[in-house]
Amino acid sequence: MNKKIIYGGLILLAIFFQLSFLPIFVGSKLLGDAVLMLVLALAVIDGFGLTLGWAVVAGALYDFASYATFGQHVIIFLLAVYVVSFFSRRLSVEVRGTGLLMFFLFIIIVTIISDAMLVAFFVFGGKSVRLFFQVFGNFGLVTFQVMCNSLLFFLWFNIIKKIKKKFL
């Protein structure tokens, strides 16, 4: 199959999962970010150059689907892809040993960056600064987000690896 069709379908599936399925079962779409974790998994597997375009496409589609300000998720996804590619080029990233620690470090960094950027966009849009302290003042919420994102990342990582082995 064509890589563009498969990756495009995965992005649409992640957006659907994020906006309709996740809020029903978790109670909020803010506790896990399926689209960001898909982009992160693509960046780890394919690298910066091959994921850059997909990060823009995923961010734009996610902005349209979630009625967000156009470009905010594009910026977040591009920043996440850059951070991951910066570290993954310099360090060995595999699903064992210290590679697992690197994955968790990526997830923690990207989750915090994503939350900070979304709150910054919200505050710069004229909303209250209290949201910043509600998100980052609650260690339990950030920890739960990291746990949810870790599960989503490893789900997408394994799905992409199996698809690449079977179809690409």
User: What's the pLDDT tens digit per position in 69-102?
Assistant: 788 889 989 988 888 877 666 555 555 556 677 7
What are the Cα distances from residue 3, in Å, to 34, 44, 95?
20, 16, 23
**Structural domain boundaries, residue 24:** 3-166
pLDDT, position 125? 61
pLDDT, position 7? 92
What residues of the chain score a pLDDT lower than 50?
none
pLDDT, position 9? 92
At how many degrees (to 10) do helices 72-90 and 48-66 cross? 160
Residue spans of alpha helices (H) in 32-137: 34-46, 48-66, 72-90, 98-124, 130-136
pLDDT, position 28? 58
User: How many Cβ atoms are within 10 Å of 150's Cβ, its own excluded?
Assistant: 18
Q: For the chain, what is the domain count?
A: 1
pLDDT, position 132? 59
pLDDT, position 135? 58
Please provide residue 42's backbone torsions phi and psi, each rounded to the nearest 5 degrees: -65, -40
Please report, for the domain that includes residue 101, its CATH number. 1.10.1760
pLDDT, position 131? 59
**Exposed / middle / buried, residue 152 (Cβ in 10 Å: 0-12, 13-18, 19+):** buried
Side chain identity, residue 53: G
pLDDT, position 48? 81
